A and B are shown apart, each in its own frame.
Chain A
């Protein structure tokens, strides 16, 4: 089998459980969008152009007539600020992907694809074939499930009843374990977890991700010299 085909199929198999978890979430978002008065075409447009689950849920929640264009734009920016950290981190590992493809890599960068890609980098360089293997199914599933949900237009039940809301947390935990490098990692995780949980309790909105991520990075920065000496 040629390497690109092998990488693509590896990506497909690793993303499969996430794809399954996307379906009920996408259907749910579509039904909420329809209930707020978005047409199926508008819902599909948003999924293709924005392609950001949490921002889309918040946008539908805020959706009204007249549509608050600037407020929605600014809210999407705030919710997705975490992607600046993610893309900065991933940008150090895209040497094997031709630069002309980087804008497409950025479009497909969502929490789940980023986590899988960073995990992949620990073992082998990130190739375009692998990245497309994980991202194309994710994007297609999101577009289709949200579009279908908007066409059905009625609630299909609460995904948390099936525990599907936990699927993403479980995946992030599983991927997180792959980054374990010993006691120094424990410090990074403790700093990040404590600051993120505290920020989440103290402030509304998605600031906790950026706050926790930066806290972990600062911890690593500050403790670097001591680890070098040890």
Chain B
């Protein structure tokens, strides 16, 4: 095992862990209310939307349509596993149809 490989792994590990830990201290001592609370409450859906935006908006029709089907399945409160399977089956079928 090379020293530089170990150093790179440790460096990446420390950098990654700092991003995951820092949030726990950012808001400490702040009394979060009003518009700031609204902004923080909006973070989970906003970040989730940002994570999936390239796949569902800029990849292709198969992914966009499969995303809409998945959202409908989730809207009807199907179990998470079922919703994911519906999404996967949709995207596979749509990719076959749309690239054929």
Contacts and interface: CB of A to CB of B under 8 A. Distances in A.
Interface of A: 14, 16-17, 21, 38-39, 41-42, 45-46, 49-52, 55, 59, 66-70, 72-77, 80-92, 94, 102-103, 105-107, 109, 111, 115, 118, 162-164, 166-167, 169-180, 185, 188-189, 191-193, 195-197, 200-201, 208-225, 227
Given A85-B43, A173-B67, A174-B83, A69 B23 contact: no
B46 A118 contact: no
B15 interface: yes
Interface residues of B, number: 72
A88 B30 CA distance: 12
The 10 nearest A-B residue pairs measured at CB: A216-B46, A212-B50, A87-B23, A170-B87, A73-B11, A220-B42, A88-B23, A49-B13, A196-B53, A196-B50
Contacts of B18: 77
B98 interface: no
B5 interface: yes
A106 B21 contact: yes
Main secondary structure of the interface of B (DSSP, over half): helix
Given A73-B11, A89-B44, A200-B54, A84 B26 contact: yes
A170 B20 contact: no
Interface of B: 1-2, 4-28, 32, 34-36, 38-58, 63, 66-67, 70-71, 73-75, 80-81, 83-89, 91-92, 95
B21 A67 contact: no
A68 to B, nearest CB: 7
Contacts of B55: 166, 169
B16 A213 contact: no
B12 A50 contact: yes
A51 B12 CA distance: 10
A103 B21 contact: yes
Contacts of B32: 92
Contacts of B34: 224
B70 A193 contact: no
Most buried by A among B13, B14, B18, B95: B13
27 contacts: A41-B1, A42-B6, A49-B9, A51-B13, A55-B16, A67-B4, A69-B8, A81-B19, A87-B23, A88-B40, A103-B21, A107-B17, A118-B44, A171-B83, A174-B83, A177-B74, A188-B45, A196-B54, A197-B54, A212-B46, A216-B45, A220-B35, A220-B38, A220-B39, A221-B35, A221-B42, A224-B39
Contacts of A216: 42-43, 45-47, 49-50
Contact of A173 (B44, B87, B89, B95): B87
Given A166-B63, A169-B63, A224-B34, A42 B43 contact: no
